[in-house]
Chains A and B, each alone.
Chain A
Amino acid sequence: MKDFRIWGLKKSPWVFHVAAASCNNCDIEILAALTPRFDVERFGIVLVGSPRHADALLVTGVINRKTLPRVIQVYQQTPKPCLVIGVGTCSCSKHMFEDSYNVVGPYDKHIPVDVYIPGCPPKPEAIILGVVKALQKL
C-alpha cells in the first residue's frame, strides 16, 4: 500500500510556483519549462493555481524579511507530504545580496528544502532534472 502511494506521488507531482521576491528570471525559466517544447505533462507534472493542490513548491528568489512570513504560510498551507524545491542560485545562498540588511538567509534555516537547483537562472532542463531528483528521494 505504501509503495502504491509513493507510485502515485512520483507519477503525478503537481507544482506550485512561489515567487519569493526573485528578479523574475527564474520565474520565466519555470514558465519555459512548462511550455509544449519540454512537455512536462508527460511525467504528470502540472502547474496548479492553489497551494492546497500542490505536491511540490518551486520557490524562487532570495528570501527577505518581507517575504519570509508569506513563504512559511504557503508552506503550512500545502498538504503534506510535499517537496520544496529551491530554484536559482538565490535559493542556495544569499547570492550577491550577502551584505544586505534585509536578507534573512538561505531557505533551509526556515523551511525544509529537498533539492536546490543552482544557476542564474537555471535552464529548463536543469529545473526538470531537479524535480526528477526530488522525486527520486521519495
Chain B
Amino acid sequence: MKVIFWILVFPGFLFSSIIGMLLTWVDRKVTARIHWRVGPPWFQPFADFFKLLSKETLIPVNASRFLFLMAPILSIIAITAVGTMLFTMNFYPNMSFLGDLIVLIYLLTLPPLATILGASASKNPLAAVGASREMTLYFGYELPFITAIIITIIKTGGTIRIGDIVTYQHIHGPILYSVSGIIATLVALICMQAKLGYVPFDIAEAEQELMAGVYTEYSGFALALFKLSKAMMLFLLPCFLITIFWGGFVTWWAILKLLLLVVLIILIKNTNPRLRVDQALKFFWVGLMPLAVLGVILAFFKL
C-alpha cells in the first residue's frame, strides 16, 4: 500500500508531473522574459495537457499500432520509476539497494529510447530523420554522462548505492566542492541539456527543418504523455544531478539548488544556436570526453 502511494502520488507520478509542469512554465516564462515578452500564465502547461487529452488520437495507416501507442507509455513508466526511486533513496538512505545507481542510469536512457521507437513506428519520413538524429546524439552524450558519474563512484570509495552516496556527501561535504567534482558536474550538466533535447542539442525535433521531428505523427493522449514525460525529465534530471554531485535532498537548500540548475539550463537554451548533428557528436566525443577522463584521473588522486 505504502509502495503504491509512493509510486502513484508522493515522490512518483503525481508529484513529479505537477512540479515538472510548473518547471515547464518557469522555462516558458523565463524564455519569454528574455525575448522581452510577457509570457504565458502559470496554468499554461496544465491547459496544454488537458487539451491534448481531450483531443482525438490519430494513428497513421502504415504505422505499427502497438509500438506507436506503447512508446509514450514506456517513456512515462520509466520516468515515474526514476522519480520514485530517486526520492525514496534520498529520504530513506537505508532503503537503497546494491546497484540502484546503475538501475537509475538505465531507466534514464529509456525515455529517449521510447522516442526513437515511437518515431520509427510512425513511418513518417520526418520522424525517421528525427529518430536517426536522436540516436546519433544519444550515442554522443551517454558516454561522457556515465564517465561523469564514475567520478562520483571513485570519490565515494566505489559505492554504487545512492543512499551511501547521499550519506557520504552529508558527512564529507558535496562532491561538487573539489576540482574533479566541478568537472563532473559541468560535463553532466551539458549532457543533461542534450538528454532533455534543448537547444543547442534539439537536433531531433528541429522545428525549422523537421517540423516536429520525432513527434510529427503523435496527437492526442500519446503526445500528451510524451510532453508530460519531458516535463518530468526537466524536474528529475536536475534532481538526479543534485543527488549525485551536490549533496542530495537532505536540507531545504536543495529546492534553491534545483531552481538554480533549471534556470541555468534555460539560459543555455536561450543563448545558443542549434548545432548540426555531426558537430554535436564531435563536441561530445572530442570536447567533453577528454574532460571527463581528466576528471576521472583527478578523482583517483583525490583532488
Contacts and interface: CB of A to CB of B under 8 A. Distances in A.
Q: Do A and B come from one complex?
A: yes
Interface centre among B32, B47, B57 (most CB of A within 10 A): B47
A66 interface: no
A9 B218 contact: no
B219 A42 contact: no
A47 B35 CA distance: 16
A12 B35 CA distance: 20
A44 B54 contact: no
Given A41-B28, A42-B39, A53-B212, A11 B55 contact: no
A52 B216 contact: yes
Say which size band chain A's interface belongs to: 20 to 34
B217 interface: yes
Nearest to A39: B37
Contacts of B28: 41
B47 A8 contact: yes
Contacts of A44: 40, 44, 47-48
B165 to A, nearest CB: 40
B207 interface: yes
A4 B50 contact: yes
A41 B50 contact: no
Contact of A41 (B39, B53, B218): B39
Given A5-B50, A36-B36, A52-B223, 8 more contacts: A8-B51, A11-B44, A11-B47, A42-B40, A44-B44, A53-B223, A79-B56, A79-B57
